[in-house]
Amino acid sequence: MKKLSVFFAIIFAMMGIVRADEGMWLPMFVERLNYVDMQKMGLQLTPEELYSINNSSLKDAIVGLSNGAHPRGFFCTGEIVSANSLLFTNHHCGYSSIAALSTVEHDYLNEGFAAKNYSEELPAEGVSASFLVRMEDVTAEILSVVTDDMDWMARNKAINEKAKELEEAASEGGKLNPVIKGFFEGNEYYMFVYKTYTDVRLVFTAAQSIGKFGGDTDNWMWPRHTGDFSVFRVYADENGEPAEFSENNKPLTPKHHLPVSLDGVHPDDFTMIWGFPGSTERYMTSFGINYNVEVFYPIIHDIFKAETDVMDEYMKVDKAVNISYADNKAGLANTWKNFEGQMKMLRKNKVAERKAELEAQFTEWVNANEDRKAEYGEVLETLETMYNQLSEVAGTLLYPNFVAQCTPMGMAAEFIEYYSVATSKEASKEEKQAAVEALKEIDVDEMFKDLDARVEKDILVAVMNIYGSNFADDEIPANIQKLLKKQKGNWTALAEYIFDNSIFSDPEAIKAFIEKPNAKKLAKDPTFLVFTDLRSQMYSIAAVYRMANIAISEANHSFVKGLREFYAETQPEKVLYPDANSTMRMSYGSVKDYQPADAISYDYVCTANGILEKYIPGDFEFDAPQRLLDLIEAKDYGQYADENGELITCFLSTNDITGGNSGSPIMNGKGELIGLAFDGNWEAMSGDVNFEPKLQRTINVDIRYVLFIIDKVYGATNLIDELDIHKAMPEPIRVEEE
């Protein structure tokens, strides 16, 4: 083999092995890969106490939150903290349920909610809680169906069929929910077997002026003073098995629940986080990064930012609108600010350049061997070519797509099938009548539920203006051009005309049409005309877009396969971990401050004093309840104060997390709950692609602040009484005799 250059050898030496803080590790490998390291850092539990399939272990207190009885992924994490399955998670994780349960008369979003007993707990409809029963390596079984003559599509089809077969066999007749997922870009496969409970109830939430204190302004920022937590409970039937909501259900008796520590945190304390991180892309190439930063992220950012700006305008002044749009707005706002941060920090931290250096090393290694050249020689070139193709067509797909999702466009989509059949010369009378009958199945009231016409109209105006600014005149479809010409080229006027003159903006008009459908009338509706043009525009490049993504998927599979061989040969001491994919992971690190820029240093904790400093009466983001302000002014913190008499709201740790870890427990070396992970920091927004050890921090709400809000602010002492609260006794003061 050709010897590596001195330069590359130096690079390898500098890179070394994976840092303890970096990595989202599979629990079944903790003893083999991580345990010794964790012990040195302060872990006091045995491997069996962390992960066991035969005995109660820490994993049994970790819950994946999702929707439905058979989830394949999780939007957040929760943890069981009592013998009656009290469940802590983030406020923003419970936000959708809290908003759905809120009304103008019972505004839990803005006033909070505290159940005094089981009978007052409110069903969180649609939310499920999944416990991991076991995980197992099924790589050999899955890949046994793959043959050398298969193309990528045939390979995936065979794998999916085999996965369904194995999942069905492990489901015990539907009692369990097995999920098989690929790792390392489809080079390994693991099965996760869950027991999923669908009766989950809201127990407690603070007002969003606590749970979302700081709003979008503080999102991803430090210092932080957000009480980002909410409390639920998991219910089961009399046998402790999953069951739909019933008044007869009882709180589940869990296999394990986490004790709570009031000892607080100090620099370099050991920390570990368990949960269900959603998605990272640590093996993404420089080509993928450049595509995201220059093309994909800007499109999503601009659209979502425009939509949330419209929502904000009305939500600030209308209580009903605030409740109706709260959940949707929160999701959109979190995404656009995340992408804004990624665009900035991927550039600032020079992640693409660092990936390009690795790709150069990989290429030199590949070219040093003819067999490797034959297998991996074109992988990076393919990725570059395919990402260039995506860059050329992404706008033509994405901009029309987001306009087509606006009201009234999304409503018109429901009538495409009817129009296609009604205007078809080949369709029989029976088929046409069936299409008419199918219209009657459309639940118009449900479609318009919680929508405000003013908000929807202004969103359409905003999104159509973005669409219009990104296409030349000759790139705009014919019907849209004609309508735009009638409005003298004014996109705002066009959007308003569409909204004001379409049946799809008015639920009663849609109902009248369903009673007496008319394809000719539909063909003249401005919304329907624009929607069909947008659909045709998307279809014109859909095949190219799809094939490019398929080629990227295949090339990524080969690249990661080769990269693992490259590291095994050149850096055998380097332990690789798979990307997050909404499966249970463990990360470990320590409590630590950071220095984000020259002459700037951030402490590892922040206190309730910052709430007073940020407080703006009546502000949409920085208002706070008077009860909370009074307690802070009086420093009336009770047992939740630290050794200096201050109340810590949030603290930093070096744990490696991402979306989906929201609500995850952060624990000390004894496995005691010390806080809830809820955010990353702005300076390391590039962290999903490349871990940044000097900058990357997890922001955690301190468990003492959580309990302070429950106890002192809301007086929900019934919940405090459920917890196993631990606090070390102070060391006695010893006076030596002379």
Q: Does pLDDT of 13 surpass 50?
A: no
Number of residues written out for the chain: 738
96, 328 contact by CB (below 8 A): no
Spatial CB neighbours of 248, under 8 Å, sequence gap ≥ 6 = 237, 238
- pLDDT tens-digit readout, 292-302: 999 999 999 99
Query: Of 645, 734, 663, which Cα lies nearest the Cα of 699?
Result: 663
Surface-to-core class of residue 565, CB atoms within 10 Å of its CB (0-12 exposed, 13-18 middle, 19+ buried): middle
Q: Which of 92, 256, 257, 557 is catalytic?
A: 92
- pLDDT tens-digit readout, 514-525: 999 999 999 999
Q: Which of 199, 216, 228, 533 is catalytic?
A: 228
649, 611 contact by CB (below 8 A): yes
Averaged confidence pLDDT in the chain: 95
Q: Does pLDDT of 712 surpass 90?
A: yes
199, 244 contact by CB (below 8 A): yes
- pLDDT tens-digit readout, 396-435: 999 999 999 999 999 999 999 999 999 999 999 999 999 9
pLDDT at 6: 34
Q: Does pLDDT of 737 surpass 90?
A: no
Pairing of strands 665-667, 270-275: antiparallel
- pLDDT tens-digit readout, 310-359: 999 999 999 999 999 999 999 999 999 999 999 999 999 999 999 999 99
Query: Of 508, 614, 682, 622, which Cα lies nearest the Cα of 215?
Result: 622
Q: In this prediction, what percent of the chain has a pLDDT beyond 70?
A: 96
pLDDT at 609: 98
- pLDDT tens-digit readout, 262-288: 999 999 999 999 999 999 999 999 999
- Active-site residue, 662 included: yes
Domains of the chain: 1-126+198-279+579-738 (2.40.10.120), 286-551 (no CATH)
Q: Does pLDDT of 437 surpass 90?
A: yes
Query: Which pLDDT band holds residue 20 (cuts at 50, 70, 90)?
Result: low
pLDDT at 637: 98
- Active-site residue, 256 included: no
pLDDT at 363: 98
Q: Which of 96, 286, 505, 662 is catalytic?
A: 662
What distance in Å separates the CA atoms of residue 232 and residue 201, rounded to the nearest whole number? 5
Q: Does pLDDT of 11 surpass 90?
A: no
- Active-site residue, 106 included: no
Instruction: Kindly state the average pLDDT of the residues 475-482.
Output: 95
What distance in Å separates the CA atoms of residue 88 and residue 666, rounded to the nearest whole number? 12
Question: Mean pLDDT lowest for which of 373-382, 428-437, 722-731?
Answer: 722-731
pLDDT at 734: 58
Angle at 458 between CA 536 and CA 618, to 5 degrees: 145
Burial 604-643 (b: 16+ CB within 10 A, else e): bbbbbebbeebbeeeebbbbbbeebbebbeeeebeebbbe
193, 135 contact by CB (below 8 A): yes
Query: Which pLDDT band holds residue 2 (cuts at 50, 70, 90)?
Result: very low
Residue with tokens 């921090």: 697
- pLDDT tens-digit readout, 193-209: 999 999 999 999 999 99
Q: Does pLDDT of 533 surpass 80?
A: yes
Query: Which pLDDT band holds residue 730 (cuts at 50, 70, 90)?
Result: low
pLDDT at 735: 57
What distance in Å separates the CA atoms of residue 542 and residue 544, rounded to the nearest whole number? 6
- pLDDT tens-digit readout, 346-361: 999 999 999 999 999 9
What distance in Å separates the CA atoms of residue 296 and residue 72, rounded to the nearest whole number? 26
